[in-house]
């Protein structure tokens, strides 16, 4: 049988960790300057009340609209980050809090990171890939994962993911779709085994490009639609990322990042910059609403009580506008 004992142990470990593994973007630095915690970020919905709920539950259904920008990704946030072509954007991914002590993402959640750019709002085939990094060093140890972008790069770098605004990009409103993919359960397809499958963590950031650039984005891909269950980068045994020949159980020890190739207009190299201090909170206070199975629950908290007081419930369904509408300023 296929590495039965090893796979069973890995499965048990990943199940223990998955409840503590959900990473999302807490802030964006522009040329090293923080724009403020959660400013411009379409933060994914929380899936339950404190202390057990968390934002950015993994999206596993490749046909779901949540593959675009996660749950609540269709909802604008009041602030849009102003950038210029060539600017360096650093996305600050975290799990529990925005500090260097945070674990960023579970150390079992090996996989690639990807960044797409689309006009805001997105349309059919509007997402253009401008950055990707996956398996960049195979393991020399049998049954040990190689070095992956999510864990050995982003998490090891305190959650910082860098990308540059394409040169000469035409002014306008855009969405950046940054994504981590956890492959710790991707040896099986979610389509066939819903309890397992690759875990996708997309996050979208609102930006406005200024200047006199004339470069327009080419045709790209759609979300959902860009990834298929038949893609070798979607169904992959992360423990096959080794130099050592294992058994016939490993069809390949290399890894093919899903989606299209990186656009030729993207920067050929991603530049890292020193980032300054963060601006805003470093820990999320008690949230007053969450979404579970499309049901939105609103609550309030009474002093001295550890449980939220439920106010109302409603049904959430993503609704994407076809035309850009300026966000309403927060009260």
Domain ranges of the chain: 4-284
Phi, psi dihedrals of residue 156, rounded to the nearest 5°: -70, -20
pLDDT, tens digit, 9 for 90 and up, residues 318-328: 999 999 999 98
State what percent of residues in the chain have pLDDT above 70: 91
Mean pLDDT check: name the lowest of 159-163, 244-248, 317-321. Answer: 244-248
pLDDT of 208 strictly over 50: yes
| Mean pLDDT (whole number) for 207-234 | 97
| pLDDT given at position 10 | 35
pTM over 0.85: yes
More confident residue, 206 or 20: 206
| pLDDT given at position 21 | 55
pLDDT of 139 strictly over 90: no
The domain over range 4-284 is classified in CATH as 2.70.50.70: yes
| pLDDT given at position 60 | 97
């Amino acid at each position: 049988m296929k590495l039965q004992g090893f796979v069973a142990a890995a499965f048990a470990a990943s199940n223990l960790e998955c409840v503590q593994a959900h990473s999302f973007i807490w802030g964006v630095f522009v040329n090293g300057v923080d724009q403020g915690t959660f400013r411009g970020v379409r933060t994914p919905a929380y899936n339950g009340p404190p202390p057990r709920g968390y934002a950015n539950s993994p999206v596993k259904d490749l046909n779901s609209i949540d593959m675009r920008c996660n749950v609540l990704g269709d909802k604008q946030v009041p602030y849009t980050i102003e950038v210029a072509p060539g600017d360096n954007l650093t996305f600050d991914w975290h799990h529990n809090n925005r500090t260097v002590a945070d674990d960023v993402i579970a150390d079992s959640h090996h996989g690639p990171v990807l960044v797409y750019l689309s006009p805001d709002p997105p349309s059919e085939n509007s997402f253009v890939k401008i950055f990707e990094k996956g398996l960049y060093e195979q393991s020399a140890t049998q049954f040990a994962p190689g070095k992956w972008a999510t864990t050995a790069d982003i998490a090891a770098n305190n959650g910082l993911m860098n990308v540059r605004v394409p040169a000469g990009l035409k002014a306008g409103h855009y969405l950046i779709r940054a994504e981590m993919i956890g492959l710790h359960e991707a040896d099986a397809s979610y389509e066939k085994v819903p309890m397992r499958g690759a875990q996708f963590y997309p996050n979208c950031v609102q930006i406005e490009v200024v200047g006199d650039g004339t470069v327009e984005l080419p045709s790209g891909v759609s979300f959902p639609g860009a990834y298929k269950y038949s893609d070798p980068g979607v169904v992959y045994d992360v423990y096959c990322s080794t130099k050592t020949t294992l058994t016939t159980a490993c069809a390949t020890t290399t890894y093919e990042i899903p989606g299209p190739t990186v656009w030729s207009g993207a920067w050929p190299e991603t530049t890292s910059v020193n980032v300054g201090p963060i601006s805003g909170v470093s820990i999320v206070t008690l949230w007053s609403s969450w979404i579970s199975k499309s049901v939105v629950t609103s609550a309030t908290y009474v002093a001295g009580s550890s449980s939220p007081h439920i106010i109302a419930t409603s049904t959430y369904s993503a609704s994407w506008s076809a035309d850009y509408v300026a966000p309403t300023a927060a009260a």
